[in-house]
């Protein structure tokens, strides 16, 4: 084979590899888009059903209360510890450096942006993913492999209402409450430590005025979106992963790993997108 023939064969091979790579990328994109559409369809259906009072049967209310206790109440102690440490490290440093740079008036806006808008929702949802996400996927996966889901359907209980809806709403409510607790405790611990060590103004009204003056209505919208949307997506992802387990119990840990990975990806992606839209 001459040189021109070898060049033609190599060009054909390169084109084949490029086309194959593009086909693989296309299949991946189609698969991910279908999964995203399915997740948002489940989320929309869940929210639609939750707005109908007749769907809130006694069993659904009892399950919702248990999930709020597990997700929210039992996570308060851990979020308090994280908030105190974060308040001492972040709030105090912002106060010290803005004072040294002669920009004390910027302390309030910085605290609202860094602690309330960014760190609060991020840490609260991260705690819920680690604590509640794996529990949801594991519990529902075991129920699916053990045949309990079929038993519920035979008893006339819709899995979407009894299993998914309470967990999704409990996760969202817990995320909101934990974020509010985180923000207030971080502010209080940061100011208290700064005032005790002499690094902050001992007058609390100065600190409170700088924070409240920096709060705008748009901050409340961003706060709610970054609190609730990742929590809703986390609950839906973990529920669908758990209920999609096929085979034996050995598949449950794999479903839990996928649920955690996808929930973390949804958390950081949502936070990044909302932050970009906020600052544009």
Sequential pLDDT tens for the chain (280 residues): 545 555 555 655 666 676 677 666 777 667 777 888 888 888 898 899 888 888 888 888 898 999 999 888 888 999 999 888 888 877 767 766 666 656 656 666 777 777 788 888 999 999 999 888 888 999 998 888 888 888 887 877 788 888 899 999 999 999 999 999 998 888 888 777 777 666 666 666 766 777 777 677 777 788 888 889 999 999 999 999 988 888 777 888 888 898 999 999 999 998 888 878 876 6
Task: Record the tokens describing residue 222, joined without a space.
Answer: 């961003």
Q: Where are the domains of the chain?
A: 48-279
**Is residue 14 exposed (0-12), middle (13-18) or buried (19+ Cβ within 10 Å)?**
exposed
C-alpha count within 13 angstroms, C-beta hemisphere, residue 228: 10
Residue pair 253/241 in contact (Cβ under 8 Å)? The answer is no
Q: Is the torsion defined by CA of 61, 233, 264, 145 positive or negative? A: positive
């Amino acid at each position: 084979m001459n040189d021109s023939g070898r060049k033609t064969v190599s060009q054909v091979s390169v084109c084949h590899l490029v086309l194959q790579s593009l086909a693989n990328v296309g299949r991946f994109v189609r698969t991910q888009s279908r999964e995203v559409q399915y997740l948002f369809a489940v989320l929309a259906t869940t929210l639609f059903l939750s707005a109908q009072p007749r769907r809130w049967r006694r069993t659904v209310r009892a399950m919702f209360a248990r999930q709020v206790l597990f997700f929210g109440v039992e996570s308060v102690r851990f979020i308090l510890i994280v908030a105190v440490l974060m308040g001492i490290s972040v709030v105090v440093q912002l106060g010290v450096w803005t004072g040294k740079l002669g920009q004390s008036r910027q302390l309030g806006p910085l605290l609202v942006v860094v602690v309330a808008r960014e760190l609060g929702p991020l840490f609260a949802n991260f705690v819920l993913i680690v604590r509640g996400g794996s529990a949801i996927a594991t519990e529902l996966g075991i129920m699916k492999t053990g045949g309990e889901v079929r038993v519920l359907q035979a008893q006339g209980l819709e899995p979407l209402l009894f299993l998914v809806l309470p967990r999704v709403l409990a996760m969202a409510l817990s995320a909101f409450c934990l974020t509010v607790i985180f923000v207030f405790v971080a502010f209080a611990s940061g100011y208290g430590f700064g005032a005790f060590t002499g690094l902050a103004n001992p007058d609390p009204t100065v600190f409170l005025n700088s924070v409240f003056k920096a709060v705008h209505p748009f901050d409340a919208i961003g706060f709610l979106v970054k609190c609730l949307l990742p929590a809703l997506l986390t609950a839906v992802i973990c529920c669908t992963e758990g209920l999609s387990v096929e085979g034996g119990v050995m598949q449950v840990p794999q479903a839990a790993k996928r649920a955690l990975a996808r929930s973390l990806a949804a958390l950081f992606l949502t936070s990044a997108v909302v932050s970009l839209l906020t600052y544009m």
